[in-house]
Amino acid sequence: MYSHLKKYLETEAHPVKGIVVEKEKEYAIVLNSKGQFLMIKNPQDLKIGYEIDIPSKRKIGIKTILAIAAAFMMVLGLSVILYSCHRHFC
């Protein structure tokens, strides 16, 4: 059971090779070694046919961090409100 998880963590933590198949002004479409088409931000030096390393997306983005912080603040705020209401009315 854990061997599948270990294999996933080992393979996904490293960059995946891919070939640029389409290039637009702001993004490029890359066919990765797993047969998936991925949209990536387009660096200026990319050309169709180039083989590149596609970085893993396992990093936590700023949106995720902000969402976690907002949820924490809502729980904390609700706890303070409920505590103060319970203290004054009970």
Whole-prediction pTM value? 0.49
Residue 60 has pLDDT above 80, yes or no: no
Mean pLDDT of the chain: 81
Domain ranges of the chain: 1-57, 60-90
Is 44:10 a contact under the CB 8 Å cutoff? no
Is 30:38 a contact under the CB 8 Å cutoff? yes
pLDDT at 58: 63
Please say whether the structural domain 1-57 has been given the CATH code 2.40.50.
yes
**3-class SS at 19?**
strand
Percent of the chain with pLDDT over 90: 32
Q: Which residue has the tokens 């949209």?
A: 39
pLDDT at 5: 45
pLDDT at 89: 74
Q: How far is CA 59 from CA 14, 29, 62, 86, in A?
A: 12, 21, 10, 41
